[in-house]
Amino acid sequence: MASNSKILSLHGKVLKLNTRADVEPYLTADPATLEEIHFGGNTIGVEAALAIADYLKKTEVLKVADFADIFTGRLITEIPQALSAICDALVDKTSLVEINLSDNAFGGRSVDPMVNFLTNNRSFQILRLNNNGLGPEGGAVVANALIQSALLSKKAGVPSNLRTVICGRNRLEDGSAPVWGEALKAHGLLTRIEMTQNGIKPDGISALVRGIAACTGLVHLNLQDNTFGEKGSLAAAEVLKSWPLLETLNFADCVIGQEGDVSPIVPVLLSGSNTKLTVLQLANNNMDSQSFALFAEGIQEHLPALKTFEVFWNEVEEDDEGIVSLSGTMTKRGGKLVITDPEEEEDEDEEEEEKEEEKKPEVIAPAPTKDDHKDATDALTELLGKVSISSSSHKA
């Protein structure tokens, strides 16, 4: 447990906390001064959650509430009760900056306990809700709660405080993408959005990015591993100019290119609409030499800040003229054109190390000779003789 009186951390201790008696020995920090609480990587039952909730209610300056991965091995009937206790205890915390509920298998059936918190705590700035198996219906419930939160802020005449939304690996799909588009639009001061690997297809992507277009101060956008297709790519191309402050853009694994055609996203990126981009990730997108020829021609003028450009797994060879030119430009500015998947490079390095180990000659000790046996026997006899003499002298 962290010794800092402002931080209570049991992160990653793999504790099984079932009852009040299990958890109360860890709730020793003064709640009045507590700024961070980290329970991620443990499993919490209903009674333990109620004890934690009572403790949370006493906090006065809490900023970070980390309850990621806290329901491993729990029954689906336990999760709503435990989650409700924790969320309800945080509703009135005006000091709260970050809430992390990632890596919990809520599914669509366990999202309702979050609604009251997401709607009525309008202080937190960072929402981490990654890998929760929400599905389209559960995702829509969460998005609607965020819409209601924005409406309450508007009614009160104050701007939304929400700045970061991370909601990937949740199977949101097209069924909830339009509602999410409205939710993100309603919180128009967002600067970071990550909604990776959600099974969202062209119609859903179109609705989503048009909603995100309202977030004109966006700095980081990650929609990796969804399916843009032609329709989604056109929609994304239309709204790219809405994000002049964008520094990181991840559209990898998104099918933004069609075989033989240049994605509409490419010429927009090379029009000067996003000059602050420092990281651009377009890996695995069916892009061919035409696209990279355009990048080679326009990157110097229109993407002057770009330092990391990931293009691996596209339809182009490493010795392609555009790729070679791009690589040279990136190197000159102290950046890098990433042509090979970094994970593959690590695997290759490990394989090379294993091969080198295999090449090393095996050291085999020579078989003992008769002389070796004789020397060992003489040495043992001499040692036993000394022991015998020493023993006799002690008796004397």
| Measured distance CA(98)–CA(115) in Å, rounded | 16
| Measured distance CA(142)–CA(102) in Å, rounded | 13
Q: Where are the domains of the chain?
A: 246-344
Residue entry with tokens 């020493």: 390
Residue entry with tokens 């392609």: 320
Give the type of residue at 315: E
The answer to whether 90 and 57 have CB atoms below 8 angstroms apart is no
The answer to whether 186 and 160 have CB atoms below 8 angstroms apart is yes
Sequence-distant (≥ 6) Cβ neighbours of residue 304 within 8 angstroms = 275
User: Which among 31, 37, 25, 71 has a CA at the least distance from the CA of 54?
Assistant: 31
Cβ atoms within 10 Å of 123's Cβ, excluding its own: 15
The answer to whether 204 and 235 have CB atoms below 8 angstroms apart is no
| Measured distance CA(81)–CA(72) in Å, rounded | 15
pTM of the full structure? 0.87
Hey, what are 98's tokens? 């970050």
Per-residue pLDDT tens digits of the chain, which is 396 residues long: 544 789 999 999 999 999 999 999 999 999 999 999 999 999 999 999 999 999 999 999 999 999 999 999 999 999 999 999 999 999 999 999 999 999 998 888 889 999 999 999 999 999 999 999 999 999 999 999 999 999 999 999 999 999 999 999 999 999 999 999 999 999 999 999 999 999 999 999 999 999 999 999 999 999 999 999 999 999 999 999 999 999 999 999 999 988 889 999 999 999 999 999 999 999 999 999 999 999 999 999 999 999 999 999 999 999 999 999 999 999 999 999 999 998 876 655 556 666 666 665 554 445 555 555 555 556 545 644 554 444 444 443
Question: What does each C-alpha distance from 33 to 63, 179, 218 come to in angstroms?
Answer: 11, 38, 33
